[in-house]
Amino acid sequence: MVISSSHIYSKSNLDVININTASKNNSKRFPQNGQIQIYQSSYRGSYPSIIRDSLRNAALGRKVLLIQFMKGGVKQGVDNAVKLCGNLTWVRSSHSFDQYNSEAIENDKNLKKSIHESTLELWNFCKKQLQSGENDQIILDEIFLATEMKIIDKDDLISTLENRFISGDVILTGTDVPKDLLLMANQITELRS
């Protein structure tokens, strides 16, 4: 079941352009950026529809960036992004929590450090992409788990989203969404089993 709601993020997020005519002063509002959409669920791995939609958008000619923070694999990471449909760039962490069991991570400080560094490298790449204006849609999959684990600073995420330069939407997914981020969202979708 999908429950969705939307609201206006903030009046300060809109640029107002005045158009002078012979006798009237008309104002038109143009959004500064695309929408922030949040998909939340009570369990991990519930977002295949977002990945499906990103493939469809790429096939329709939109430039899409899909970042998976907590999933990784062999020969992945920022330098080994996968290109699909010509317009979808899919990036996963070069070392991620999903590759190892939690006990192994806690017992091996070098492994834990490597996973944190890999996730931060991915986040720094995302920040550049959010500022570049090169993508029509950016999906930050499981970003909230990375903030919950204190790998990515929540205030840095908020600041980056506030100062983004992208005409399309930014989609964030995760299980435990901080309230400050819920308040920023134009649309919130809750996925239920």
Beta bridge partners, 95, equal: none
Supply angle C-alpha 161, 47, 141, rounded to 5.
30
Q: What total of structural domains would you count in the chain?
A: 1
Q: Is the pTM of this model over 0.85?
A: no
- pLDDT, one tens digit per residue, over 55-84 is 899 999 999 999 998 877 667 888 888 888
CATH of the domain at 45: 3.40.50.300
pLDDT at 39 over 70: yes
* Local confidence band at 125 (pLDDT 50, 70, 90 cut-offs): very high
Task: Please report where in the chains the tokens 């204006």 appear, as a residue.
Answer: 133
The residue-averaged pLDDT of 135-162 equals: 92
Residue 1 has pLDDT above 70, yes or no: no
Structure confidence at residue 45 (pLDDT) = 64
Q: Which domain holds residue 33?
A: 2-191
Q: What is the DSSP string of 10-42?
A: -GGGEEEEEEE-SS-EEEEEEESS--EEEEEES
What percentage of the chain reaches a pLDDT higher than 90? 34
Given 3-state DSSP classes, what are the helix, strand and coil percentages for the chain, each rounded to the nearest 5?
35, 30, 30
- 184 contact partners, CB below 8 Å, separation of at least 6: 9, 10, 36, 158, 161, 162
pLDDT band with cut points at 50, 70 and 90 for residue 26: very low
